[in-house]
Amino acid sequence: MKQARVLTDQEFRRLLAVIAQSRHGARNRLALMLSYQAGLRVGEIAALKLADVIDRDGGVRDQIRLCAAVTKGGHARVVFVNDRLRREIASFVNGMHENADRSAPLLVTQKQTGFSANTLCQLMARLYGEAGLDGATSHSGRRWFITRLAHSGVSAKVIMTLAGHKHLGTTQRYIDVNDDMMRAAVSIL
């Protein structure tokens, strides 16, 4: 089975530019950033509630706790929120009504209902298509996240845990390698 394409930095910037011009740009941007910056699957993103990302005082949480019911492997896990994602969440939440229902879905469709994994997957496919990024799918962000961590020297065990994988082999299949990476690797010698 062919894997989702990992975007280059230039392609990612192009995608964000397309999203900025889209009808629901802020929502679409946050959906992508949750994938790229936290490695979340579309089903996990679709299941997020406002209370999952902000605390009672309105501050962005340092961690997102995913219950077993929303994860692929059926195992609860903690997702750590980096500074960039924290700013993205804060920007999105600041645009919401201040008395928003904390139990409501974080991201909603045009009909003001929560996304299903399938509808969010379709939205991402449409955004990638509009950006002209063939081969990119809703899993591209997750692969980008895992690949970036691996190429930054993060321990395989840490990456495996962050991704919510139970087996190292699964995590290794996500890591993308290209000619530039191989060139840089041998230039170290």
Q: Show which residues are catalytic.
A: 41, 72, 139, 142, 165, 174
Chain-centroid distance, C-alpha 128: 14
Three-state DSSP class for 22?
Answer: coil
**8 Å CB contact between 27 and 92:** yes
Rounded Cα gap, residues 40 and 35, in angstroms: 5
Alpha-carbon span 86 to 83, nearest angstrom: 5
Q: List the one residue out of 15, 59, 21 whose CA is nearest residue 33.
A: 15
Entry field: residues in the chain = 189
Looking at this protein, which amino acid is placed at residue 52?
D
Handedness of CA 157, 160, 161, 166 (dihedral sign): negative
What is the distance between the alpha carbons of residues 148 and 11, in angstroms, rounded to a whole number? 15
